[in-house]
Every structure is written in C-alpha cells, then in structure tokens.
C-alpha cells in the first residue's frame, strides 16, 4: 500500500493568505488509481557482494539497495545528493555514482560519508574501475562526448582520454585491462586502450546498445540493446552475437552476478528483471507500473475518464476508473521524446518536454492513432503546452518566463504573448469567456495568473501559494491546483481568488535539479466530467484520484 491511504477528506474553514475561506463544495475520498513504486526510472546497477543490488535513480535523485532474496528496496542516498545515472563499487567498498544533470561525481564511503569528488561535468554518465583501482567516467548527451580518468579520492586533476568517439555508455574493463563498451552513435561495441586511446570494434549491427558486462569466464560480454529490447551475448574473440533473451524496449543497464545471472534495468517499465542465460528465463526482482508520472490530462468528451499520462520515459493511457494501462508508447523505440506535460483536445494530444537539450520541445499527436504529426524544438526550459481551438499552440517557457504562440501552419512561426512570468509551469485554457484567456501557474512567485489571449495582458487570480504547478478546470468553473510547496491540492475560485484545500499531506514535489527549468518534474492535475480529480505523484511514481464523497464507489484500481 502507498504511504498515504485512501480516506475521506473532510473540508473545514482554512486560512490562505490571511483570509478565512469557506468550505469546498463537497468532501472527497482519496483513492489509488496506480499504486506507488520505489523508483523514478531505474538505471545503473552494481552488486555489492553482500546479497544486495545497488540501483541508481536519476530523476528520483536517489541511490537504492535491493535485497536479492526478497526484492525489498531501501534508500542509501536520497534527494538531492543521489541523482545517479550509473553506480559502481570502489576497491575499498565506497559507492560511486554519476550525476547526469548535476555534472557531479559522488562518493559514499563505507562509514556513510558522502561528498563530491568531481564537478562541472554535464552529461556525466557511466563509470568503471580498472583492476589497479583507477577510475574512468564518460560525458555524453549534453553537448559533450568525453572519456576521463578521475582520481577516486578527488584530489588530483582529471585527465582526458578521448573525445568525439561516439557516445561511450555503460562499460567495463576486461581481463586485458582494456575498456569494453557500447558506442551509441555507431551502434557497436568497442574495445578501448585507455593508455593509448586506440579503439577497436568488437561487434556491430545493434539497434542501440547501451551497456555491457562480462560473464564469469571473462570471454563473453552481455549487451543490452535498448531499442530492440534484447539481451545479447557477444563472444569477444570473434564478435559472434547470440540473443539470450527478448525483453521490453527501454533497457538501460545491467550487471552480471558470479553465478552468471544477469540483472537488467528498464527505465520505461521502471523495473529490474533477472535473466538466466542458460535457458533465457526471466523473473522480476522489482516491478512497477508507471515510471515518472508528471503531467496528466483527461479529455473533456471522455465519459470513461481515461487519464493520459506524460510518464517521461513513456506516454501512457490509464483507465481512470480501473487503473488499467490501455496504451504505452515507449521512448527511444518510438518518435515520442521524453514527455513531461500532456494536454488533450478533440483531435490532438500535445506533449512537451525539457528533459534533454536536443529533444526538448513540443510534439502534436493524432489522438486516435497516436501518430506524431508535428515536432517543434524549444530549448527554453519548456513546461506546459496546450492547443487552442484554432490550432495555435501556447507554450510556457519556464526558463525565460515567457508564454509564446506557435502558429498552426507548417512554418510554425513563433510570437511572444507575454513575458516576465516567474517560473510558468501549468496552463489551462479559458477560451469560452467573453475575453478568452489562459490560466498559468507561476512556481517561483506563488501566483496563478490569467493572461488575455488578445494582447497578453495579465491579471493575478490568486497569490501566496507555495510552488503551484499542475492546474485544471473543474466542471463547476473552479481551478484545481497542485500546490507542491504546501504538499496539498487546492481549489481556487477564479472570480474571487479564494482558495480551499481539498487534500493535504500529499507525497508530491521532488527537489529541483540542476539543468531543469523551475518546477523540475511537474506534478500533474486533471479533472473528469464527473468532477473526479486526478493527481500524479512524482515522489511515489503513483496516480491518485479524489472522488466526490457523494459519488458511488467505482471499480477497484490496479495494485
């Protein structure tokens, strides 16, 4: 069960911004749609030799330990220090991990002391120790493509080994003291002499190889192919490839035990599976149903209240009443690019992201088929994006503080509607009004602002909120807002600005991370035609609903 259980939430008189406010229209009972999971997309893995598997959790900013006998997950390092893309054990038992977004290399000694041993390395990704205790790390994916040698104690300057080699990812040293790993851009496995910089091809013809590890014989490499969803065994001497197991796409990393059992992480499914290479059998170690649920939406014409979930590593459609996942579009193996926000109209779905520089922007999908119709780049810390009735897109640029229009035409001309907003995150349209506008949450100023579409004029609807993010319109005209800094869900009367609390003590709001716009991973809010409110939890990777207490109990959601 999640940490906060289903319950009836009573309304009462509340003080917001110094005002005594009236009770909300009704009480709500809180229910689980999709239950919590321990990670926010799991990545690097390492065995500690003591019956535990270490797992890195980049967006959740944590390093975890998993009991191999029970699958129980505990947190070794939490936010914000634990933002790890890959993890490894040093010769003295220290744990090292790479901060892809923070650009920091971290170390936790056996006595529990954590410190930064290298910094200013954006895109810091993979790491491995050579037998002599020398440590090597890579940068990739954020404008850099470099292999470094780094002092494990953080005292000596780092030394560049290679650059521009093709995005070297999860690697390991072989018995010959050469480094073996995938070159993503070349779709091959390479052998690198870190003393001379010489590169040789070991095997090629992969979809997207992302990580390698040796088996106990040290004669074979296991490779995970993210796009094809395959675990492949490569005979190092000949380059011969054998598919050992077919898994879902979105594989991220692996580690091999002394018994040659292969532990594989999948960032899309947010899970860890164990493969027995002897027979290709697969068993789950840690399971999940969502990865990083952020922006959510419910189509106003959908009586079944399907919830569209921007799950960062996937785009999903979840039954709001039964919690069943009816559709999953996976990143890397599709054209969908790391969605963080979603809005839904009559014909289109609009996804937006600021997750990775070159992939940041907006995508417009056909709602019926899921086909990507338009992709519009935007590197200005994009948060919310909505489509207006005339096909114009309206984008919230979290970094610049602007709302911009993008024409419906193929030329995609852009104009600034307004600027000077303080961390715009969530958007919801108000196009039926006499003077059509849009409501926007400002995470930095604590305001909900209305922007007039005709000329960009702004008016404050509510202030004094703590980090408001997700926003949606209720059928009664009220605004439902995720007040992340206050860990609560509030209803705002747009005419008076008065607020009432629907629920408090919520598990929402991961700490912001370097390299992301204000709001980081947004907390999403959506409202169905029945008045049921849906909320995503980034902290728990869960989806919840708040049902009017007078409504009949619906089907039991998925565990």
**Domain contains 4:** no
249 and 334 in a single domain? The answer is no
Q: Please state the rounded mean pLDDT for residues 193-213.
A: 96
CA 324 to chain centre: 20
In 260-380 the beta strands, taken as DSSP E runs, fall at 262-266, 271-276, 281-286, 296-298, 306-310, 314-319, 325-330, 341-344, 348-353, 361-366, 372-377
Bridge partners of residue 211, in order along the sequence: 170, 224
Residue that is last in its domain, among 286, 316, 338: 286
> Tokens standing for 110?
């056996």
CA dist 308 and 320 (Å) reads: 9
Residue that is last in its domain, among 244, 263, 286: 286
318 and 462 in a single domain? The answer is yes
**Domain contains 275:** yes
172 and 210 in a single domain? The answer is yes
| Cis, bond preceding 471 (omega within 30 deg of 0) | no
Q: Please state the rounded mean pLDDT for residues 339-345.
A: 96
Q: Please state the rounded mean pLDDT for residues 431-452.
A: 96
- pLDDT of residue 345 exceeding 70, the answer is yes
| Residue 143 pLDDT | 66
Are 54 and 65 in contact by the 8 Å Cβ rule? The answer is yes
Classify 358 as helix, strand or coil.
helix
CB atoms within 10 A of CB 463: 16
377 and 465 in a single domain? The answer is yes
- Percent of the chain at pLDDT exceeding 70: 93
Tell which residue, 180, 203, 204, has the closest CA to residue 191: 180
CA dist 532 and 33 (Å) reads: 12
- pLDDT of residue 555 exceeding 70, the answer is no
| Residue 15 pLDDT | 28
> Tokens standing for 34?
């999709």
- pLDDT of residue 3 exceeding 90, the answer is no
> Tokens standing for 415?
């104009």
CA dist 124 and 546 (Å) reads: 40
On whether the pTM is more than 0.75, the answer is: yes
Question: pLDDT, tens digit, for every residue of 275-332?
Answer: 999 999 999 999 999 999 999 999 988 999 999 999 999 999 999 999 999 989 999 9
Q: Please state the rounded mean pLDDT for residues 79-102.
A: 93
CB atoms within 10 A of CB 130: 16
Q: Please state the rounded mean pLDDT for residues 84-102.
A: 94
276 and 343 in a single domain? The answer is no
Residue that is last in its domain, among 251, 286, 321: 286
Question: pLDDT, tens digit, for every residue of 223-271?
Answer: 999 999 999 999 999 999 999 999 999 999 999 999 999 999 999 999 9
**Domain contains 559:** no
212 and 329 in a single domain? The answer is no
Are 366 and 340 in contact by the 8 Å Cβ rule? The answer is no
**Domain contains 273:** yes
**Domain contains 555:** no
120 and 193 in a single domain? The answer is yes
Q: Tell me, what CATH number does 132's domain have?
A: 2.130.10.10
Question: pLDDT, tens digit, for every residue of 498-512?
Answer: 999 999 999 999 998
Task: Collect all residues with Cβ–Cβ distance below 8 Å to 186 and sequence separation of at least 6.
Answer: 166, 204
- pLDDT of residue 1 exceeding 90, the answer is no
170 and 301 in a single domain? The answer is no
Which structural domain range is residue 224 located in? 42-286
CA dist 453 and 499 (Å) reads: 25
Task: Collect all residues with Cβ–Cβ distance below 8 Å to 194 and sequence separation of at least 6.
Answer: 130, 136, 147, 149, 161, 178, 179
Q: Tell me, what CATH number does 517's domain have?
A: 2.120.10.30
- pLDDT of residue 21 exceeding 60, the answer is no
- pLDDT of residue 6 exceeding 50, the answer is no
**Domain contains 5:** no
281 and 348 in a single domain? The answer is no
Average pLDDT taken over every residue of the chain:
91
CA distances from 182 to 48, 165, 203, 204, 229 (A): 24, 11, 9, 9, 15
Residue scoring higher pLDDT (97 or 515) = 97
Are 260 and 47 in contact by the 8 Å Cβ rule? The answer is no
Question: What is the tally of structural domains in the chain?
Answer: 2
270 and 298 in a single domain? The answer is no
21 and 100 in a single domain? The answer is no
**Domain contains 558:** no
Q: Please state the rounded mean pLDDT for residues 403-412.
A: 84
Question: pLDDT, tens digit, for every residue of 459-480?
Answer: 999 999 999 999 999 999 999 9
| Residue 358 pLDDT | 77
CB atoms within 10 A of CB 516: 18
**Domain contains 553:** no
269 and 296 in a single domain? The answer is no
CA dist 71 and 55 (Å) reads: 12
Classify 322 as helix, strand or coil.
coil
């Amino acid at each position: 069960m999640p940490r906060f259980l289903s319950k009836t939430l009573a309304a009462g008189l509340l003080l917001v911004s110094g005002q005594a406010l009236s009770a909300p229209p009704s009480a709500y009972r809180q229910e689980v749609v999709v239950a919590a999971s321990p990670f926010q997309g799991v990545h690097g893995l390492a065995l500690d030799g003591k019956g535990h598997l270490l797992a890195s959790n980049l967006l959740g900013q944590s390093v975890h330990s998993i009991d191999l006998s029970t699958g129980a997950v505990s947190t070794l390092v939490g936010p914000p220090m634990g933002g790890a893309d890959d993890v490894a054990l040093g010769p003295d038992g220290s744990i090292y991990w790479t901060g892809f977004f923070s650009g920091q290399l971290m170390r936790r000694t056996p006595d529990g002391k954590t410190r930064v041993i290298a910094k200013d390395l954006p895109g810091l990704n993979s790491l491995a120790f050579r037998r002599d205790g020398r440590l090597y790390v890579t940068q990739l994916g954020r404008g850099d493509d470099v292999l470094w040698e780094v002092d494990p104690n953080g005292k000596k300057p780092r030394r560049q080994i290679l650059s521009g080699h093709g995005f070297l990812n999860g690697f390991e040293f072989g018995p010959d003291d050469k480094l073996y790993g995938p070159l993503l851009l070349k779709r091959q496995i390479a052998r690198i002499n870190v003393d001379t910089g010489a590169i040789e091809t070991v095997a090629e013809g992969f979809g997207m190889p992302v990580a390698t590890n040796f088996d106990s014989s040290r004669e074979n490499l296991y490779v995970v192919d993210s796009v094809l969803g395959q675990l492949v065994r490569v005979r190092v001497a000949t380059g011969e490839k054998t598919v050992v197991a077919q898994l879902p796409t979105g594989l991220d990393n692996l580690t091999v035990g002394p018994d040659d059992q292969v532990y594989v992480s999948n960032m899309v499914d947010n899970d860890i599976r164990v493969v027995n290479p002897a027979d290709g059998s697969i068993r789950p170690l840690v399971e999940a149903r969502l990865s990083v649920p952020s922006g959510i939406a419910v189509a106003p014409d959908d009586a079944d209240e399907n919830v569209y979930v921007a799950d960062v590593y996937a785009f999903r459609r979840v039954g709001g009443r039964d919690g069943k996942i009816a559709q999953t579009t996976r990143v890397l193996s599709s054209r969908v690019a790391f969605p963080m926000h979603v809005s839904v109209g009559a014909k289109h779905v609009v996804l937006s992201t600021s997750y990775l520089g070159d992939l940041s922007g907006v995508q417009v999908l056909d709602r019926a088929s899921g086909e990507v119709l338009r992709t519009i780049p935007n590197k200005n810390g994009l948060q919310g994006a909505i489509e207006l009735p005339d096909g114009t897109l309206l984008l919230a640029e979290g970094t610049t503080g602007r709302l911009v229009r993008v024409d419906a035409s193929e030329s995609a001309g852009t104009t600034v509607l307004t600027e000077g907003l303080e961390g715009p995150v969530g958007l919801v349209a108000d196009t039926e009004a006499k003077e059509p506008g849009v409501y926007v949450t400002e995470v930095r100023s604590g305001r909900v602002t209305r922007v007039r579409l005709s000329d960009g004029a702004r008016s404050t609807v509510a202030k004094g909120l703590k980090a408001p993010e997700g926003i949606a319109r209720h059928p009664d005209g009220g605004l439902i807002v995720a007040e992340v800094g206050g860990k609560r869900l509030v209803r705002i009367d747009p005419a008076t600005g008065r607020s009432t609390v629907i629920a408090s003590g919520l598990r929402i709001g991961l700490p912001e991370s370097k390299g992301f716009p204000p709001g980081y991973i947004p907390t999403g809010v959506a409202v169905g035609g029945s008045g049921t409110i849906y909320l995503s939890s980034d902290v728990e990777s869960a989806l919840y609903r708040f049902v009017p207490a007078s409504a009949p109990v619906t089907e039991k959601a998925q565990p």
